[in-house]
Structure 1
């Protein structure tokens, strides 16, 4: 696939590419934050709103002056991808670009995952895999804007929303892997779930099951001990009875047979 002239990979540590190369001439982290925010807005945004978003502690006059300077530098870096009038600023969606957040979000929301009861179709499973490949980690992982309290609040809300969608997607992928005996795929998806929420006991139970069926009994037992220690030290509680029951079955090797797709007639 030919790379898009502008590509914003914002899931995980942010990476911005222009013509296939890292965009290194952005003048500051604030300029990067401005480009990210504009790319995720469907409509133009007023200069006053942007000034408050990025310089929450400054006076409006100071913030607007800062915005004018940042916009000038940003337009030198990305050209017509950023459009500005005296009142508003917008991301130019008429130019070719790739934005992993949109690709991930739109696909996960479109797929029938919320009330999934039947196995995923091959087409749905492929679309899910493609969407989840975009999720390298939390939205703007490791990125912080010291003066932009408004930007940080916006990013935190979007980060949590995307995390919930990722949880939904990886949960469906684990179920699909269990149903089809794809244990390595299921292990990877379970580990992603636990990275999103280390206290997710259902994900731990599924991971222990998958590890055992993949021949990694000792690793499955260690997962339980890791969870038990985490819950005790952080929350002062023990694992749920259902989790303890899976642990006992792993330890005793008295596990139900693997789930396999029903043979076709």
Structure 2
């Protein structure tokens, strides 16, 4: 006989196709107490305390006996055996139900646990189904008409299960690509449990995946404020790490060059010992009261953002206040990175941070910071000196404790933002502030990067600024990365070393390295993400530079300037301009004559990453390839020792 007991919502017992209800509130709470007690049962006094949570009535003993008799009559049909399931054993009331009886307040928590196991195993469909079913049941109230300590404790316990179910269902929806549903579930979970950090991390992830980084930051800010005001604590390291992760590229696009994102397991952080030490020293000097400026530079995909995040996590772990901002290409937000960083400080502060600044600064900040009602249209903002003074006052208030300001994609900073950074550095000399910015150095034009260099120069001379230039990972770090990604397997390099091969093809660039490791089309194929990146770089450097690249790709490992210019059909000056653009973009590198036995021998040029050469080569038409090889064969002075060699791919296509 199928029996279902529904404690949540309108209490009901479904037995043999019939539905029975308990009319008395006292009978309902007593029945719920007996059901949840299980085989241990409850004493007479414990049952009485639940039924009458205040003072016991004078006739409570006889009233309890009457109530138990009514319950015995109610539960009698729940078992096919002649004995009644509600008995008194050793002074305790025990309700013995069969194994096949389903009880919603027990089934729902079990479903939540099963949903978590399914999510951990990667079965998002099962996780969503189980968690959604549990949440739908747990949303019903538990004995809404009754009060008392035991009832309140059960409500608290079931509410926690509900929040967990919502969080699991939200994460499963996010994994499945249903971001709208994930947002609704995560919002409900955060509203029901404003103190639970994991649900806010889930909501931050959802908003970030939807491309709404500003809203994701505001989720963090609301959580930080709540924890400070109600619990007097800061967010956990896991939440701070999620906050730092918002520095990374938007989930709406992949790594450098754009394209669809693919979910991968978290990438371990390896190498960069020297760079981390430099950042740690700068932070130590800032903590001692001398503000610092660190500029992290490198080509696209080299790991600037990751180093920035790891440095920020270390600073936060050391008790520092972390403020985060980013520059977006073509942004219309005035002073975007500093506004983002200081707005998060204002939104997350339990006290009114404007109390620490003067009246003029308060007026300017209210027009500029989103959490205070801004930003207003740029034409309505105060003059630049007033804005600079207001932002400086607010930053000084934040830096009353050790403070780190992290700015990603600083190469997109407009001149006004660079001017503000220069002003802030001058005005905060004796504060516990460390400003760390990450910028690309492979853009076709160096105008904006030159602004950062100019801003940093006077402080670098004073020992308060330094540049951390990132190159590729070395072979040892590459091996460590592959070893960790493989879960510790394959520590010893085989005779045919695949790690050395992908290292050689990528030049140690982490983005290219990871794409080569993940790509399954074969060890010699070019991953689509790398193809997109190379196409974006070619579009940025222009047509003349692309022609030089095409010649170099067909030629092979290295090529001379005259060969590139001649086969590309460019005059000397145009070819020089194009070559310099390729060198600035980090696509080609000069093989200096210093390594030669003949110092006056002209330098050659080679691709910094062989996979980039291959990507360019694969996009060439046979007609262009024939033109390049024909020109090389016909050109005078191409001796065996000095002339370039065709790439293997180019030779195979002849």
Which TM class, normalised by the smaller chain length? 0.5 to 0.7
1:186-265 superposed matches below 5 A: 186-214=182-210, 220=216, 223-224=219-220, 226-235=222-231, 241-242=240-241, 244-245=243-244, 249=247, 254-256=249-251, 257=253, 258-260=261-263
Give the number of equivalent residue pairs.
244
Q: Determine the structure 2 residue equivalent to 1:182.
A: 178
Q: Determine the structure 1 residue equivalent to 2:122.
A: 119
Q: 1:264 to 1:193 in 2, by over 3 A?
A: farther
Establish whether residue 69 from structure 1 lines up as the match of residue 72 from structure 2. Answer: no
TM score, norm. by length of structure 1: 0.65
Asked if structure 2 preserves the Cα contact closer than 8 Å seen for 1:181 and 1:259, the reply is no
Q: Determine the structure 2 residue equivalent to 1:145.
A: 147
RMSD of equivalent CA atoms = 4.4
1:33 is displaced (CA, Å) by: 0.6
- CA distance in 2: counterparts of 1:73 and 1:123, whole angstroms: 41
Larger radius of gyration: 2
- CA distance in 2: counterparts of 1:37 and 1:9, whole angstroms: 10
Q: Determine the structure 2 residue equivalent to 1:17.
A: 12
Bigger drift between 90-99 and 200-209 goes to: 90-99
Asked if structure 2 preserves the Cα contact closer than 8 Å seen for 1:26 and 1:74, the reply is no
1:221 is displaced (CA, Å) by: 5.8
- CA distance in 2: counterparts of 1:125 and 1:39, whole angstroms: 28
Unaligned runs of 5+ in 1: 147-151
Q: 1:157 to 1:243 in 2, by over 3 A?
A: same
Asked if structure 2 preserves the Cα contact closer than 8 Å seen for 1:180 and 1:259, the reply is no
1:79-158 superposed matches below 5 A: 80-81=77-78, 83-85=85-87, 89-91=93-95, 93-94=97-98, 98-110=102-114, 113=117, 117-120=120-123, 122-136=125-139, 140=142, 142-145=144-147, 152-153=149-150, 155-158=151-154
1:255 is displaced (CA, Å) by: 1.9
Unaligned runs of 5+ in 2: 79-83, 254-260, 265-517, 522-654
Where relative contact order (Cα < 8 A, 6+ residues apart) is larger, the structure is 1
Q: What secondary structure, in the 3-state scheme, does the structure 1 residue paired with 2:11 have?
A: strand
1:38-53 superposed matches below 5 A: 38-43=34-39, 44-53=41-50
Q: Determine the structure 1 residue equivalent to 2:448.
A: none
Q: 1:196 to 1:78 in 2, by over 3 A?
A: same
Asked if structure 2 preserves the Cα contact closer than 8 Å seen for 1:113 and 1:172, the reply is no
- CA distance in 1: counterparts of 2:192 and 2:168, whole angstroms: 15
